[in-house]
Amino acid sequence: MPLDIPALRKEVERLYALPAQDLPADAGNVFHELRDLLSSGAVRAALPVEGGWEPQAWVKQGILVGFRLGRVIEIPSGVESPFVDKHNLPLR
């Protein structure tokens, strides 16, 4: 069941505080939910404020959790050198 944004923020902050080896199995679901909300524009990494932008630290923390969760995989590229990236990040 999707989390509302305040609950998602709380869960991201909780996961970020854990060492990588202690991340629970469902941490990937939280990261994917954040990633989907970022892609749709429902969540933003920074919000406009008078005179500039205010970064959302919890969003950065969620992205970093995703990097900790990701496994490096080889992606066929059709060229001599292989392309590698994290398994949980979409190719673009």
Domains and CATH numbers, the chain: 5-86 (1.10.166.10)
Work out the average pLDDT over 18-29.
Answer: 94
Task: Output the pLDDT for position 92.
Answer: 61
Full-model pTM: 0.79
φ and ψ at residue 72, rounded to 5 degrees: -80, 125
More confident of the two residues 27 and 78? 27
Amino acid at 88: N
**Position 22 pLDDT exceeds 70:** yes
Counting every residue, how long is the chain? 92
φ and ψ at residue 51, rounded to 5 degrees: 85, 5
Task: Output the pLDDT for position 35.
Answer: 92
Query: 């059709």: which residue's tokens?
Result: 78
Query: 């969003």: which residue's tokens?
Result: 59
Could you read off the pLDDT of 25-71 as tens digits, one per residue? 999 999 999 999 999 999 999 999 999 999 999 999 999 999 899 77
Task: Output the pLDDT for position 16.
Answer: 97
Q: How many helices (H) and strands (E) are present in the chain, helices listed first?
A: 3, 4
